[in-house]
Chain A
Amino acid sequence: MTTILEAKNLKVIRGGSLLVDVPDLAIIEGETLSLIGPNGAGKTTLLQALSYLSKPSAGEVLFRGRVVGPDYGALEFRRNLTMVFQEPLLFDTTVFNNVVSGLKMRGRGGKESRQIARAQLERFGIAHLGERSAKTLSGGEAQRTSLARAFALSPEVLFLDEPFAALDPPTRESIVADLEKVLAETKTTTIMATHDRNEALRLSDRIAVMEGGRIAQIDRPSIVMNRPVDEFVAHFVGTETILEGAVRETNETALFVSVDGSVIEVVGRGRVGEKVTVCIRPENVTLAIPDGTAKTSARNTFRGRIGRIIPLGLVHRVEIACGFPLVAFVTTHALEDLSLKEGDEVAASVKATAIHVIRKGGG
Chain B
Amino acid sequence: MDIILEGIRQAFILLFTFDREVLGVTWFSLKVSGTATLISLFLGMSVGTVVALTQFPGRRIVVSLINTGMGLPPVVVGLFVTIFLWRNGPFGFLEILYTPSAMIIAQAVIATPIVMGISLAAIQQLPRKLRLQILALGATRLQMVLVLIREAKLALLAAVMAGFGGVISEVGASIMVGGNIMGYTRVLTTATVMETSRGNFDIAIALSIILLLFAYLINLVLTYVQQRERPR
- Which A residues have a C-beta under 8 Å from some C-beta of B? 48, 51, 53-54, 75, 78-79, 81-83, 85, 87-92, 101-102, 105-106, 133-135, 137, 139, 142, 149, 153, 159
With A135-B230, A142-B232 in contact, is A106–B138 under 8 Å at CB?
yes
User: What is the bound-complex CA distance between A46 and B135, given in angstroms?
Assistant: 16
Task: Please determine whether A83 and B231 come into contact, CB atoms closer than 8 angstroms.
Answer: no
Q: Is B136 an interface residue (CB 8 A)?
A: yes
Which chain B residue lies CB-closest to A79? Answer: B138
Interchain pairs with CB closer than 8 A, number: 67
Which A residues lie within 8 Å of B138 (CB)?
Answer: 75, 78-79, 82, 102, 105-106, 153
Expressed in whole angstroms, the minimum distance between the Cβ of A80 and any Cβ of chain B is 9
Q: With A105-B147, A135-B230 given, name 20 new contacts (CB 8 A).
A: A51-B136, A53-B132, A53-B135, A78-B136, A82-B136, A85-B133, A87-B232, A89-B127, A89-B129, A89-B232, A91-B147, A91-B151, A92-B230, A105-B137, A106-B137, A133-B231, A134-B231, A135-B231, A149-B137, A159-B136
Which B residues lie within 8 Å of A134 (CB)?
Answer: 231
Q: Is B223 an interface residue (CB 8 A)?
A: no
Which chain B residue lies CB-closest to A145? Answer: B231
Q: Is B23 an interface residue (CB 8 A)?
A: no
- Which B residues have a C-beta under 8 Å from some C-beta of A? 127, 129-130, 132-140, 143, 147, 150-151, 229-232
With A75-B140, A91-B147, A106-B138 in contact, is A83–B230 under 8 Å at CB?
no
Which B residues lie within 8 Å of A88 (CB)?
Answer: 231-232
Which B residues lie within 8 Å of A75 (CB)?
Answer: 138, 140
Q: In this complex, which of A53, A102, A105 has the most chain B Cβ atoms within 10 angstroms of its Cβ?
A: A105
Which chain B residue lies CB-closest to A89? Answer: B133
Cross-chain contact of B129 among A78, A82, A87, A159 (Cβ < 8 A) = A87
Task: Please determine whether A101 and B137 come into contact, CB atoms closer than 8 angstroms.
Answer: yes
Which chain B residue lies CB-closest to A51? Answer: B136
Expressed in whole angstroms, the minimum distance between the Cβ of A47 and any Cβ of chain B is 10
Expressed in whole angstroms, the minimum distance between the Cβ of B156 and any Cβ of chain A is 13
Expressed in whole angstroms, the minimum distance between the Cβ of A51 and any Cβ of chain B is 7
User: What is the bound-complex CA distance between A102 and B133, given in angstroms?
Assistant: 10
Expressed in whole angstroms, the minimum distance between the Cβ of A81 and any Cβ of chain B is 7
20 contacts between A and B (CB under 8 A): A48-B132, A53-B135, A53-B136, A79-B138, A81-B136, A82-B138, A85-B129, A87-B127, A89-B133, A91-B231, A92-B151, A102-B137, A105-B137, A106-B137, A133-B231, A135-B230, A137-B232, A142-B232, A153-B138, A159-B136
